[in-house]
Structure 1
Amino acid sequence: RGGRRGGAGGHGGGGMGTALTEAEKNVLKRTSVINGHLFLPWVDSDLEERFKYPKPFVDPDGLLALSPKQQARFAAWKRPSEFMTAPKMIQIVSAYSITQELVSDCSFVSSLIIAAAYERRHHKRLITSIIYPQNARGEPVYNPSGKYMIKLHYNGIPRKVIVDDLLPVDRRNRLFCSFSNSANELWVSIIEKAYMKLHGGYDFPGSNSGIDLFCLTGWLPEPMKTDGEDFNAQRTWERVLNANKFGDVLITIATGEMSEADEERWGLVQTHAYAVLDAREVNQDGRVERMVLVKNPWAHKRWKGKYGAHDTTNWTPRMKAALNYDQDKARMVDNGIFWIDYTSMLQFFKGIYLNWNPELFKYQRKLHATWPARAPGPVNDSMTVAYNPQYALTVDVPTAARGGRKAADAIVWLVLTRHSVRKEVEDGVRDREGRLVSGAADPMHDYLALHVYSGDRGGYRVFYPQDPFYRGVYSSNPHSLFNFNVPPGRHTYTIVVSQWERSRDVDYTLDVYSAAPATLGPVKSKARHEVAIKGAWTAENAGGSGRHPGFFNNPQFRVRTTADGRFSMRVEVAEEKQFVNVRMYDSGGKRVSGFEGELLSSGNYRPQLGLAVKESLPAGEYTILVSTFEPGKLGKFTLIVGSSAAKPILARIGAEGEGMIKRALPGRWSAEAGTAAGCANHGNFTRNPKYRIVCERATDILVRLVVDRITPLPAINVALWLCPDGAVPARLPMGDAVVSTHGGVYMEKPSGVVTDMVSLPAGTYVLVPSTFDPTPGAYELVVYTSQPVVITPL
């Protein structure tokens, strides 16, 4: 159902095209079964629902669950004709007639109140239009058959909610669901029942009015905390005042926690939602007083502070006249409606919920997707977002305005909706209305956020999460929002969906609302040409980081670029706890054994991904080394290199000494034996450990020297000399060596030092490992030869 998408006012269309993809259809199908019942998508062309029946309609989904408190008061399920004289769906739409009873849904009732107030004030069917059946004039009507259909927004789309008119009454034959105190009027109770069915029953755990209003109307929710660091009281007032004047916003507010004594003193209810019916500015004795008209959904208990009904100091004749306030009448009747000054409101109300009319945005884009728990990437994406769902948003803001005016910015809203198919609460501490209070959150919640990247990262896949244009706050609320201004011109952003501690599949909807033309599509890669190669860290080559002696044993690769251009390289692993790094050396594509010539590095070791980019790399051959943080960490990896200029050529470089005969020679420089002799500067060089190597045939040779846990790390060298007559020469000048590490220079390297590969004619040679200063300690020589040789310690 609902094979095509649309936007408010006939605008919109999908970010990936106007028709839903099969994947999107599967998302919507999967998340249409909510709390065990099927709620079909709402399709305007498919509203021929049957409403007339020979017998009263009974919802096949059964009766709604009641909370223990409700069950204690419950007497029976009854139809309106059993407790009303002449039931009507709507007599008059009024915010003043709505009353909350035993259902703990103050935020929902506040949402109904403000929606009704809007409809009455602006003469637009905002709330009554969602009720069916309707007459020829589009007005909801009472159905003697007892079947109703309500349009509610949930899990990314509008949905059909079918209910019967069986309502819960107490032993006095009175409704204990919410109701209208206008005699015989049903619309409040029927809408509430549909909402409660969608959310699993009358044992509703509570919500907030921003979420509830979005469900009822589709208006965009913007929550604010009045004690938040980024809350701007003046700017918020200006927005509220102007939007309220033009009918672009619905406003609800909520108190924070307070003691029973403060509740009684101030006439407020803690953690309770209220509807804002009006906002005004009044000139009071030369100063502007900012005033807010508020209704408690209980329809009683009101504000006792400044501008309360019994305040004789601040209610001047000018104020009463400006606000059309009858203080004498207000003292006599407590209907839960009161005026409060904005300063006091900010002091006692900790939440402000603004819901904005989506018709303000001409251009709307929508997509539905799923993020599988088994998808690549870490459970916690604080180190890398490379595997997160990402989208490119392009906004084209006109650069010239009509009439010679300066071009204006365009506002853009992003709304991420997390799909939910079950109640997301557990038994815990609840307030007096039965609502779950802070600290008793459902551990099965999914915490989502939106991050947005701009500038040179806009439109391209983001790998590391640092320096976003906007970093969202992780929330278990169904909706994550961000709005921002886009300056004139074409601007592209990358939108990253993020999840804190990913543990299960998450279905979601991403909506874009824009005042300027906008497109939503897949992100691109900056590398036009990419090549990948698979490899593995094994027991032989998992050498760890550069702090460990086996670092240069790690897998190495030769990459050849045939044209200058932007170059990128990254190593990816599936194991989340595998911290990795990738480096590149200017070594002509040969295997490297030292840090000299390092051109590029991914920096700190990160889980699952190491990425490095060079904006301009000359054509040539280079060596890439991939490593894990700890040695001995085995596992598979993928190395991916990319270039903006031409397709790179990538190949594996053989391991050190691969295909050669290997001999490991542990040894020790000893102070007692006099073999810790140091370099030639100390006059005893030939007393260092020596090894005779006899080659019966010509051979290639490669030698590595590594020290074993000597602190501080000494500078070391290993060199090889020819023994012309088979005997070790009395003097061994470094300049006469056949080969030595680093041309005879002593180096401090945790990974050790290694000679170049050289070819030796048949003969006898002497190999000498040494430290620069006489330093006792253990070492290991590793000798690789292409032919068998005889090695004898001297």
Structure 2
Amino acid sequence: MTSSHGATLDHFIAQALQAEEAIASATSQKTALEAAINAAEQYMKALRLAPVENQGRFDSNCKSLIMRAELIKTTADWQRVVRRRLIPNLEPPISKRRLTTREQIIILEGAKLNGFIFPPWERPPSPLDFDGLFTDSPELHLSECQKEIFSGWKRPSELLQAGYSSCKGKNGLEPLMSVSNSSDLVQDVLTDCSVVASLCATSSRVERGLGKEALPAIYPRVPGSDEPALSPVGKYIFQFYFNGAFRKVIIDDRLPSSKTKRSLYVVDRNNPNFLLPALIEKAYLKLRGGYDFPGSNSGTDLWILNGWIPEQLFLHDQDATSDEIWRRLYHAFSYGDVLLTIGTGKLTETEQKGLGLVSEHDYAILDMRVLHGKRQFLLKNPWAGAEPNIGPNPDDNTTDVRRLSPGTFWMNCEQVFQNFENLYLNWNPGLFKYREDIHFSWDLSQRRAQAGCFVRNPQFSVHCERGGTVWLLLGKHFKSEDQVVSGAEGGGLGFISMYVFRAGGKRVSLNDMPLQRGPYVDSPNTLMRLDMAPQTTYTVVISEQSLPSSNRNFTLSALSTASVSLAPAQNSYMCVRKTIGSWSASSAGGNAESARYSSNPQFTIETFERTDVSILLESNEAELATHVKLFWSNGQRITRVRSRDIIADSGDYRRGCALAEAKALDKGVYTIVCSTFACDQLGQFDLWVSSSVPCVVQSLVSESAGRRRTVSSPGTLAPGRDRMLAPLHVPRMTRIKLIGRSRSSTIGSRSVAPSPVLMTVELGQGPYKTVLATSEDGTHCDALSGVRVDDFDLAPAADPRQKIWIVIERIGGPGGQVEDHFEVEALAEERVDIGEWIIEDE
């Protein structure tokens, strides 16, 4: 968004708010009606310019004000109408996509977590669900530190009786599920700053008069209202969102009591008998494995508590600007459409003392304001034992500073961006009209694809008929063993990300040239905002790094103000064949500039009609630089690389995998060569050949297969010598192939390219010699792969006085100064002998 664009949007919003104030202060019905119509028109103008996360709210405001104008116009008591400001309640969209049987199983699998069952939410509980005193089993885990001060599980009345035995007031002893004054929630012994910061953010929204939609859903309730009620049987049922669905979380009201003044659960310093936050905390910690909670981030916690869409902004990212983020959040926050929390990164002790901040700790953002031209956030540290080392802002008045609770402070926007690392946003899902979810499994216990190769990754198509902004939310399902992995020394749960390609909803093989890619995050969720043109379909690829080697379940959600659909991505090709191969000591021939390139693994592909072909080479060694070429060859092994024979290749060598594609390949038999950059790099690989119609892929045997191999001693052509020969003895008729290769070529001590050579097989010497076979159609060649005499039948000389000779002739180097060293390899059906080289004089 450009600054002028943002200024125009701000202008329309300011005009709309001013018009709303004019409604309330109107002294006549006509003035009130005009102000209501004006406010609606200003919101309509803002709607056209607003980002997608604000569009739902502005649209609702327009409709609300139009309805309000109608009531002012038609109601006799119009003054009552103008006094009531309508803040519309946004209904979150529900995915209407029919789940497959496998997806239904995934949702059921997600119910089993950390020794408990959390079934999908079906309906609000009835009075029959609260029959008889309830005690949950088993009890939640405590850490060793918590056990040292643990004094047993106690009901709220017991806890309050013990904690406030000296209190004379009756209210001080009775637990409450709601309070009328402001709350001041803090953690103490528990390491759940993210949870308490989340609770502070939701309660702050309520205290700002923006409704209770962001509060976690809890039962029982006061009859005829949404207010939570005390359970007479000590049983509470929460509706939390995790593992792909809203689920039922049941707890009893017993809380961990302490032998000391330290608290083992969240408390409200303003209302010590306010029970609800501690119950929410217990329900959350139950699904996360217990009170020995290793920590999370508040964006994830809020997503679970109320289902609001999590987004994480990295404040130190070079693309993150305070102006853009403030503009995006300010009005959304004022309407209560987004909850904000924020986290520090790793800070040294010196930095913590100097900044007054806690290292790797989450804070709640309670308010935003512009004071004397300065943009400020109101931050709250949820830890009871930490006070910010931040002096009062000189722009604050004394009364405002005095009113702030301990641990709460204003900080300028620029300081926030400098001192904090992550900003967590949780958006009201009601801002969107449409939602579609798809649930899937990814078996990571099997061999994983190499970095940059997506052939094994889950992929999906996303389609938006009308276009617009689509939000893609990837959620990784929790597993019981995650608690063990994250708690282990140096343990981690890996990273997830998403890539988007302009691939028409078809599967892609490599990570090259994505339209958009997200960061790899260690959270169980990641969000991508995607702008789509009308009638477009993109491909979404799920990616990971270092996730535990097990089967993992995920949910991918698409949200938009226009109709949106998700589906598994389709293969671009109808037929896919996978072949396994390897580079061994005899077949790791290196790149096309290597003399041993022809020894690389080769395969034939036979097509029976014209087809598109994709060839993906995937190594099992991440560090191997790989390459694949497709040749015209009539199915023969490739012995020399000539550009006219290459149909397609994978371009530059790349680590782990390589892809070559050919369009409209005619019927025929072709050869595929799989290579590494350097010789003698060993490893296995998978070769995926995809085509539009069925084709046959077969491994080509090596040249030496079924042959006896004989290598000559090296022969040297010194400067001024251009012909040498060696006797070749065959015991009987045999099929034979000869390969002459340069060992080295030098001028003095400097290496140079080999001289062009011609290799022949001759019977006898002198004027009556017979040339039995020749290399390269009788032309001299300086190819790095050497010169070859292809298969021919060779019999012993009929006259014992005649010999069969291998002859090498060269065209001398510049000025005749090149010294060439050659050797010849013979591959024959019978064992042959190659004698010593004889150098002929000029």
Distance in 1 of aligned mates of 2:628 and 2:580: 14
CA apart distance, 1:43: 1.6
Deviation by residue 1:528-547 (Cα, 9 ceiling, x = unmatched) = 44455566667765545445
Of residues 176, 192, 197 in structure 1, which corresponds to 2:281?
A: 192
CA apart distance, 1:377: 3.0
Q: Secondary structure at the match of 1:667?
A: coil
Summarize the Cα distance change of 1:710–1:420 in structure 2 as closer, same or farther, 3 Å threshold: farther
* Mapping of residues 179-258 of structure 1, within 5 Å: 179-180=267-268, 181-182=270-271, 184-256=273-345
CA apart distance, 1:238: 0.8
* Mapping of residues 2-21 of structure 1, within 5 Å: 9-14=92-97, 18-21=98-101
Q: What's 1:767 paired with? A: 806
Q: What's 1:111 paired with? A: 198
Q: Secondary structure at the match of 2:302?
A: helix
Of residues 40, 58, 65 in structure 1, which corresponds to 2:142?
A: 65
Of residues 778, 781, 784 in structure 1, which corresponds to 2:825?
A: 781
Q: What's 1:34 paired with? A: 113
Q: What's 2:244 paired with? A: 156
* Mapping of residues 498-577 of structure 1, within 5 Å: 498-500=544-546, 503-530=549-576, 543-546=589-592, 548-561=594-607, 564=610, 566-572=612-618
Distance in 1 of aligned mates of 2:675 and 2:484: 44
State whether residues 186 and 384 of structure 2, in contact with CA within 8 Å, keep that contact through their aligned partners in structure 1: yes
User: What amino acid maps onto 1:756 in structure 2?
Assistant: D
Q: Which moved more, 1:207-216 or 1:569-578?
A: 569-578
Q: What's 1:480 paired with? A: 526
Q: Unaligned 5+ residue runs, structure 2?
A: 1-89, 162-169, 799-803, 813-817
TM-score scaled by length of structure 2 = 0.75
TM-score scaled by length of structure 1 = 0.79
CA apart distance, 1:39: 3.3
User: What amino acid maps onto 1:387 in structure 2?
Assistant: R
Summarize the Cα distance change of 1:63–1:722 in structure 2 as closer, same or farther, 3 Å threshold: closer
State whether residues 377 and 576 of structure 1, in contact with CA within 8 Å, keep that contact through their aligned partners in structure 2: no
Distance in 1 of aligned mates of 2:594 and 2:491: 42
State whether residues 758 and 779 of structure 2, in contact with CA within 8 Å, keep that contact through their aligned partners in structure 1: no
* Structure 1 position 364 matched with structure 2 position 443: no
CA apart distance, 1:490: 1.5
State whether residues 300 and 335 of structure 1, in contact with CA within 8 Å, keep that contact through their aligned partners in structure 2: no
Q: Secondary structure at the match of 1:12?
A: coil
State whether residues 740 and 759 of structure 2, in contact with CA within 8 Å, keep that contact through their aligned partners in structure 1: no
Summarize the Cα distance change of 1:182–1:490 in structure 2 as closer, same or farther, 3 Å threshold: same
Q: What's 2:451 paired with? A: 382
Distance in 1 of aligned mates of 2:386 and 2:709: 90
Summarize the Cα distance change of 1:739–1:91 in structure 2 as closer, same or farther, 3 Å threshold: same
Summarize the Cα distance change of 1:451–1:715 in structure 2 as closer, same or farther, 3 Å threshold: farther
Q: Secondary structure at the match of 1:191?
A: helix
Q: Unaligned 5+ residue runs, structure 1?
A: 1-6, 321-326, 399-408, 429-440, 671-675
Distance in 2 of aligned mates of 1:397 and 1:245: 29
Q: What's 2:49 paired with? A: none
Give aligned-pair identity as a percent. 28
CA apart distance, 1:142: 0.9
Summarize the Cα distance change of 1:753–1:479 in structure 2 as closer, same or farther, 3 Å threshold: same
* Structure 1 position 690 matched with structure 2 position 690: no
State whether residues 470 and 558 of structure 2, in contact with CA within 8 Å, keep that contact through their aligned partners in structure 1: no
CA apart distance, 1:638: 5.3
* Structure 1 position 45 matched with structure 2 position 123: yes
Deviation by residue 1:246-279 (Cα, 9 ceiling, x = unmatched) = 2210012234566777767766555443322222
State whether residues 722 and 810 of structure 2, in contact with CA within 8 Å, keep that contact through their aligned partners in structure 1: no
Of residues 712, 734, 739 in structure 2, which corresponds to 1:666?
A: 712
CA apart distance, 1:115: 0.9
Q: What's 1:144 paired with? A: 232
Q: What's 1:438 paired with? A: none
Q: Secondary structure at the match of 2:190?
A: coil
Q: What's 1:703 paired with? A: 738
Distance in 2 of aligned mates of 1:258 and 1:690: 76
Q: What's 2:790 paired with? A: 756
Distance in 2 of aligned mates of 1:780 and 1:473: 55
Summarize the Cα distance change of 1:10–1:684 in structure 2 as closer, same or farther, 3 Å threshold: closer
Distance in 1 of aligned mates of 2:702 and 2:260: 87
Flag the structure with higher helix content: 2
Distance in 1 of aligned mates of 2:324 and 2:212: 30
* Structure 1 position 396 matched with structure 2 position 474: no
State whether residues 705 and 717 of structure 1, in contact with CA within 8 Å, keep that contact through their aligned partners in structure 2: no
* Mapping of residues 636-655 of structure 1, within 5 Å: 639-644=687-692, 646-651=693-698, 653=700, 655=702
Deviation by residue 1:259-300 (Cα, 9 ceiling, x = unmatched) = 777767766555443322222335x3xxx3323333343579
Summarize the Cα distance change of 1:191–1:617 in structure 2 as closer, same or farther, 3 Å threshold: same
CA apart distance, 1:478: 1.8
Summarize the Cα distance change of 1:748–1:29 in structure 2 as closer, same or farther, 3 Å threshold: farther
Distance in 2 of aligned mates of 1:298 and 1:444: 25
CA apart distance, 1:353: 1.5
State whether residues 294 and 486 of structure 2, in contact with CA within 8 Å, keep that contact through their aligned partners in structure 1: no
Of residues 186, 189, 201 in structure 2, which corresponds to 1:102?
A: 189
Distance in 2 of aligned mates of 1:102 and 1:241: 34
State whether residues 153 and 214 of structure 1, in contact with CA within 8 Å, keep that contact through their aligned partners in structure 2: yes
Of residues 612, 623, 627 in structure 1, which corresponds to 2:671?
A: 623
Q: What's 2:266 paired with? A: 178
CA apart distance, 1:230: 2.0
Q: What's 1:291 paired with? A: 376
* Mapping of residues 333-372 of structure 1, within 5 Å: 334-372=405-443
Q: What's 2:395 paired with? A: 314
User: What amino acid maps onto 1:664 in structure 2?
Assistant: T
Deviation by residue 1:331-388 (Cα, 9 ceiling, x = unmatched) = 377444444432343344443221111222222222333332332334xx32423222
CA apart distance, 1:200: 2.8
Distance in 2 of aligned mates of 1:493 and 1:172: 57
Q: Secondary structure at the match of 2:523?
A: coil
Distance in 2 of aligned mates of 1:454 and 1:127: 34
Q: Which moved more, 1:261-270 or 1:386-395?
A: 261-270
CA apart distance, 1:766: 3.5
State whether residues 425 and 442 of structure 1, in contact with CA within 8 Å, keep that contact through their aligned partners in structure 2: no
User: What amino acid maps onto 1:739 in structure 2?
Assistant: A
The CA RMSD measured in Å over matched residues stands at: 4.0
CA apart distance, 1:190: 1.0
Distance in 2 of aligned mates of 1:636 and 1:279: 58
* Structure 1 position 81 matched with structure 2 position 166: no
* Structure 1 position 741 matched with structure 2 position 747: no
Deviation by residue 1:13-59 (Cα, 9 ceiling, x = unmatched) = 45xxx22433x455445444433x213133223735865455x4322
User: What amino acid maps onto 2:828 in structure 1?
Assistant: Y
State whether residues 51 and 148 of structure 1, in contact with CA within 8 Å, keep that contact through their aligned partners in structure 2: no
Deviation by residue 1:166-188 (Cα, 9 ceiling, x = unmatched) = 22334578854212333643111
Q: What's 2:755 paired with? A: 715
Q: What's 1:323 paired with? A: none
State whether residues 93 and 432 of structure 2, in contact with CA within 8 Å, keep that contact through their aligned partners in structure 1: no
CA apart distance, 1:10: 4.8
Distance in 2 of aligned mates of 1:360 and 1:26: 30
Q: What's 2:766 paired with? A: 729
Q: What's 1:406 paired with? A: none
